[in-house]
Amino acid sequence: MESGKRVLLIISGGIAAYKSLELVRDLRRRDIAVRCILTDAGSQFVTPLSLAALTEDKVYQDLFSLTDESEMGHIELSREADLVVVAPATANILAKMRSGIANDLATTALLATDKQVIVAPAMNVRMWKHAATQENITILQERGVQVIGPEEGDMACGEYGMGRMSEPAALVEAIENFFHNAGQAPQKSLIGKKAIITSGPTHEAIDPVRYLANHSSGRQGHAIAKALAELGAETVLVSGPTQLADPMGVTVQHVKSAEDMLAACEAALPADIVVCAAAVADWRVANPPSEKIKKNGALPSLDLVENPDILANVSQLDKDRPALVIGFAAETEDVIAYAQAKLAKKGCDWIVANDVSPETGTFGGKNNTVHVIDAETIEDWPTLSKEGVGQKLAARIAIHLENNST
Ligand code: CTP
């Protein structure tokens, strides 16, 4: 519970505004007070009445309203909040924030605030990908604004792509993380640090057209890379083949096989932090032929050889070993015991262990229930979205490095 905390929620005009109603409810359930500013465009999608009922407070809409200004001026609105959240954040409001335009109550409050600001962009995929929006986002991030989402999926306009507002649960997590960090803006605490993350499956060639692979979606590794970059780390993501977009602010090396993945990691070293989240194939075909194997009656047999273990290699480096090496243990039984054995065998500092039995839906799914294990402790985390696990892990890494800096 975050009893007594106050969020100023700015709702700008987009179909995703309906999600802000659920966000208000989720925050109120956690005893977080929510005061809303609704833009003119926002009021086309949700009504002040619904928001007033859910927040149990007045909803502020008009910069030049005498009653609003006499009760609570625009400066006071941002001053009395602990955190400002813009959800949904349209391309328009992001552009105004970047330029310092203040031509309504929402943008005036945003220009006047000295509080941490979190934005949850929501827009059509082409508006999101437009160079103007991307530049606005980059500059806002550089100024310390925390950006949550957008996510990929079907859009109200009938298109598919990046631009859906993150779910309220992801925003609640980010807001709770902010409050847990005692009101300190979490971002930028990893400035000056370099991180390498492996993510996704690897494809091991059987012949030029076939390969061995696994069900990893790469969601968890990508989310960790994004979260570390958001904290200011120079981040290199070495990704096997996935369907995911490259996270913003991250240098992505696309690879196919385990051997390529190891080579890309070695090329990116030295680093302060290495997180091996990839589901690296344990074996590859010894000598894949350069021509397609034909069906000629006899069943082919595959000679397999073991792949290099990237996590073990990095953990056991003699020279320039990263300060923190983290592995994952994807298990289907005895999760903790196997994970502890992996920690010892591979020589990494932490293992993030999870149950990937098919009934958990972890492989390819949106959520993850993990245990963070080091030589002394086992921390059981609640079920979180993979983005939530990424943010919590990045925050834990930042705290660890700070406490152990010499
Ligand atoms: N890993 C790696 N390189 C490999 C195999 C695994 O870097 N060739 C890393 C993974 O990224 C993960 C950790 O090692 O961080 C554990 O991977 P996992 O597949 O669970 O362990 P294995 O060592 O393959 O053991 P097993 O398959 O027997 O459980």
Q: What is the pLDDT of residue 159?
A: 76
Sign, Cα dihedral of 40, 44, 45, 51: positive
State the closest ligand 1 atom to the C-alpha of 327, by its place in the atom list counted from 1: 15
As given in the structure block, the two tokens for residue 247 are 């996270």
Is the N-terminal amide bond of 88 cis, ω within 30° of 0? yes
What's the burial of 404, exposed, middle or buried (CB within 10 Å: 0-12/13-18/19+)?
exposed
Which residues does the chain have with pLDDT short of 50? 1, 185
pLDDT in tens, 207-259: 999 999 998 999 999 999 999 998 999 999 999 999 998 888 899 999 999 99
Please, are residues 28 and 2 in contact by the beta-carbon 8 Å criterion?
Answer: no
Torsion-angle region of 347 (φ positive above 0: left; ψ -120 to 50: alpha; else: beta) = left
Q: What is the pLDDT of residue 185?
A: 46
Q: What is the pLDDT of residue 87?
A: 98
User: In the chain, what are the domains?
Assistant: 5-180 (3.40.50.1950), 194-403 (3.40.50.10300)
Q: Which residues contact 99 (CB under 8 A, 6 or more apart)?
A: none
Maximal CA-CA distance, the chain: 87
User: Running DSSP on this structure, what letter comes out for residue 12?
Assistant: -
Q: What is the pLDDT of residue 72?
A: 59
Q: Which of 36, 157, 276, 348 is the catalytic position?
A: 157
Rounded to the nearest angstrom, the distance between the alpha carbon of 278 and the centre of ligand 1 is 8
Q: What is the pLDDT of residue 78?
A: 80
Among 199, 237, 280, which residue has the most ligand 1 atoms within 8 Å of its CB, making it the best to mutate?
280
pLDDT in tens, 270-294: 999 999 999 999 999 999 999 999 9
- Nearest partner of 145 among 195, 103, 100, judged by Cα: 100
Q: Which residues contact 139 (CB under 8 A, 6 or more apart)?
A: 98
Q: What phi and psi, each to the nearest 5 degrees, are found at residue 5?
A: -80, 150
Please, are residues 202 and 211 in contact by the beta-carbon 8 Å criterion?
Answer: no
Residue 265 among the catalytic residues = no
Q: What is the pLDDT of residue 154?
A: 78
State the closest ligand 1 atom to the C-alpha of 277, by its place in the atom list counted from 1: 11
